[in-house]
Amino acid sequence: MSETYAVDIEDVSKSFGALKALNGVTLRVRRGEIYGLLGPNGAGKTTLIRLVCGLLEAHAGTVTVLGQRMPNVPVLRHIGYMTQQAALYPALSVEENVEFFAAINGADAGVKAALELVQLYDRRGSVVATLSGGMRQRCSLACALVHRPELLLLDEPTVGIDPQLRVQFWDSFRRMAAEGTTIIVSSHVMDEADRCQRLGLIQYGKLLAEGTPADIRTQGGSQNLEEAFLALAGRKES
Amino acid sequence: MSGHRVRAITRRLLQGFRRDRRTLALLFVAPIVILGLLGYLMRGSTSSPAVGIANEDSGPLGAVVADALRHSSHLKTSEIAASDGDAKLKNGSLVAYIVLPADFSQRAQSGAVAPEVHLEGSQPGEDSPVIQALQQAMISLASQVSGRSVNFQPQLTYLYGGPSYDTLDYFGAAFVGLVVFFLVFVITIVSFLNERSQGTLERLMASPLRRGEIVLGYMLGFTVIAFVQAAEVLIFSLAVLKIHNEGNVLLIFGVEALMAIAAVNLGIFLSMFARSEFQAVQFIPLVVVPQVLLSGIIFPVSTEPGPLQFLSDVLPLTYAVNGMRDIMVKGADLTWSSLQLDIAVVAGFCVLLIAAGTATLRRRLG
């Protein structure tokens, strides 16, 4: 495919009743890029991710993913989606969960590699209900990437994960990006933001600022990314 | 023991209810609906059994008994020819018919009568008002035969069932299907709801799965479980409880299986209208109880008040129950048009629910 953008969001608005969750957002993510969606709780990050994987339909504007206008079912084969809560079947083992998501995506061969990537291969027989929160999160990630998607959507993937594992997660994200996978990560942890190639700051359903972490520091006038973000957020509000 | 802490729990509970309008409505509306329905069913029913009288007596006394029966407030009588009786029992227009034989007067004079009572027999309890009314009629006979006591010995024959046929046989036939229907419905609605609440449904929706694939996959999975359960229930009913069965066991299993498939799809469909397992369980009094009351399991549809009969006629469970009874009590097979209708209605209902379940399973959540 020749198009440069894996995700092309054009002037998208989405409301739930009276609440404007997204208001005229335009945002483009290049192929093989790690793009961070930053913003406080309720800013519209999850809504944006759901629009990208076709769970929601925009009221205005267009969402194009891998060259197809969303919602579009065949494109979903190339998307991996890790939800905010570790959405797994608690009565199944780690391996059975991953096998299930592999099967519905038509990628039965990838189970072992996915389990090794999240370092759960030795625990593959454990029933999910008995796992710690961090292990569930890893299992959930394995389910999202078992079919080697071209686009990986991660909604706050490192919540509840210890720092050591977080480093390992990011190592794998970078490796996958190097192999051509596009990754969109939502987070409100600034330390993670620094690991992204580009960032988009969202607040009250609007894109406040966009750019590399260095750009954001310059725009916000602070070497500390968190302060820069707060400065940008405060400026737009007043 | 701290009153303050106890109050905190009580208050929390009531605050929760205030927001859950649906639970509140259920708590206060459901009892009225269910009791009202029950009251209407029991008080409003037109339950005088339809009884045919064939008076073949060459003497005068048969007419006396026939007349007394006609005036009995417990029966709805009609004159028939004895040769038509069995056909009328079969098509359900009569519950029983009484034949007063040609030598009735003669035998009454000699002190012993034996009128024939032919009972349909599939519903226990319907024969006793008939026999009681006949006994009453015999009293008026005794006054005609002055000074003599007449020994009354009715000859009972049963079209279905028989003297050993009891209440369990009647209810058992219906319950074999109902137990499976009910339990399969509950496990389906709850596990489909789990799929929503644990977030995996959102994941499925973001995968290339089609809605129809989800519904069909669910249906097959639960149908496997339901089939095992149906087989277990059937074996227990026939081998341990020894419920009366005239029909083909495979045919019973077939109807049970069809009911299970309907229950799975009803569960999937209704899970779309519940936000929690708590709300899902609330469908039991709203969906299951009225169906049980109206499907003829306990009260025969023919004795229900008119408007309720109409309601019964549109409930699929009515057909399922009728089919099960036809097979087990009457030995119906697939050549019976009534059984063909029952099976067609239940199968049609399954197809309708599969379509409805698929249509309500929305890919987009908002």
- pLDDT, tens digit, for every residue of A165-211? 888 888 888 988 999 999 999 987 777 888 899 999 888 888 888 99
Strand pairing partners for A152? A80, A183
Strand pairing partners for A27? A9
Q: Are B306 and B48 in contact (CB under 8 A)?
A: no
Q: Nearest CB to B198: which of A50, A90, A143?
A: A90
Q: Which fold has domain B50-158?
A: abc type-2 transporter like fold (3.40.1710)
Do the Cβ atoms of A90 and B208 come within 8 Å?
no
Q: Nearest CB to A87: which of B200, B210, B364?
A: B200
Chain A touched by B200 (CB under 8 Å): yes
Q: Nearest CB to A104: which of B204, B363, B366?
A: B204
Share of chain B above pLDDT 70, in %: 95
Q: Tell me, what amino acid is at A206?
A: K
- For B22, the token pair is 């649906």
Q: Are B324 and B155 in contact (CB under 8 A)?
A: no
Share of chain B above pLDDT 90, in %: 4
End-to-end CA distance of chain B: 47
How far B239 CA sits from the closest chain A CA (Å)?
35
Please give the residue of chain A at the shortest CA–CA distance from B213. A104
Q: How many CB atoms within 10 Å of residue A24?
A: 14
- Domain encompassing residue A222: 33-44+76-237
pLDDT of residue A184: 94
How far A121 CA sits from the closest chain B CA (Å)?
22
Chain A touched by B205 (CB under 8 Å): yes
Return the axis-axis angle of helices B211-235 and B249-271, rounded to nearest 10°. Answer: 140
Does B366 score more than 60 pLDDT? no
Chain A touched by B210 (CB under 8 Å): yes
Please give the residue of chain A at the shortest CA–CA distance from B217. A104
Q: What is the mean pLDDT of chain B?
A: 82
Chain A residues touching residue B198 (CB < 8 angstroms): 85, 87-90
Do the Cβ atoms of B206 and A76 come within 8 Å?
yes
Q: Nearest CB to A105: which of B202, B205, B208?
A: B208
Chain B touched by A163 (CB under 8 Å): no
The reply to whether A16 falls in a domain is: no
Number of domains in chain A: 1
Residue in A212, A213, A200, A209 with CA at minimum distance from that of residue A235: A209
Share of chain A above pLDDT 90, in %: 40
* Per-residue pLDDT reduced to its tens digit, A123-167: 999 999 999 888 898 899 999 999 999 999 998 887 777 888 888
Chain B residues touching residue A76 (CB < 8 angstroms): 206-208
Element (H, E) at B97: strand B96-100
CA distances from B340 to A67, A112, B294, B319, B324 (A): 53, 52, 21, 10, 12
The reply to whether A5 falls in a domain is: no
How far B194 CA sits from the closest chain A CA (Å)?
9
CA distances from A41 to A14, A154, A188, A203, B95 (A): 17, 15, 8, 9, 71
How far A214 CA sits from the closest chain B CA (Å)?
34
pLDDT of residue B146: 62
- CATH number at A214 reads 3.40.50.300
Lowest mean pLDDT among A88-102, B132-146, B314-328: B132-146
When pLDDT is averaged across residues B164-184 and rounded to a whole number, the result is 81
Do the Cβ atoms of B205 and A89 come within 8 Å?
no
Which CB contacts under 8 angstroms, 24+ apart, belong to A122-129? A123/A94, A124/A93, A124/A94, A124/A95, A124/A98, A125/A93, A125/A94, A125/A95, A126/A93, A126/A94, A127/A90, A127/A91, A127/A92, A127/A93, A128/A88, A128/A89, A128/A90, A128/A91, A128/A92, A128/A93, A128/A94, A128/A97, A129/A90, A129/A91
Chain A touched by B242 (CB under 8 Å): no
Handedness of CA A148, A152, A156, A162 (dihedral sign): positive
The reply to whether A56 falls in a domain is: no
Supply the DSSP string of chain A, one letter for each residue. Answer: ---SEEEEEEEEEEEETTEEEEEEEEEEEETT-EEEEE--TTSSHHHHHHHHTTSS--SEEEEEETTEESS-TGGGGGEEEE-SS----TTSBHHHHHHHHHHHTT-GGGHHHHHHHTT-GGGTTSBGGGS-HHHHHHHHHHHHHTT--SEEEEESTTTT--HHHHHHHHHHHHHHHHTT-EEEEEES-HHHHTTSSEEEEEETTEEEEEE-HHHHHHHHT-SSHHHHHHHHHHHHH-
Supply the DSSP string of B262-314, one letter for each residue. Answer: HHHHHHHHHHTT-SSHHHHHTHIIIIIHHHHHHTTSSS-GGGS-HHHHHHHHH
Chain B, window 337-366: residues with a beta carbon less than 8 angstroms from a chain A beta carbon: 363-366
Counting one residue from chain A and one from chain B, the pairs whose CB atoms sit within 8 A come to: 55
Burial (0-12, 13-18, 19+ Cβ within 10 Å), B271: buried
* Per-residue pLDDT reduced to its tens digit, B268-312: 888 888 877 778 888 887 778 888 888 888 777 777 777 888 888
Q: Where are the domains of chain B?
A: 50-158, 167-360
Chain A residues touching residue B207 (CB < 8 angstroms): 76, 101, 104-105
Do the Cβ atoms of B202 and A83 come within 8 Å?
yes
**What is the rounded distance in angstroms from the CA atom of residue A207 to the CA atom of residue B291?**
54
- For B181, the token pair is 């229907």
Do the Cβ atoms of B207 and A85 come within 8 Å?
no
Chain B residues touching residue A88 (CB < 8 angstroms): 198, 200
Record the pTM: 0.77
Chain A residues touching residue B365 (CB < 8 angstroms): 50, 55-56
How far B319 CA sits from the closest chain A CA (Å)?
37
Place of tokens 């059994």: B49
* Per-residue pLDDT reduced to its tens digit, B226-240: 888 888 888 898 888
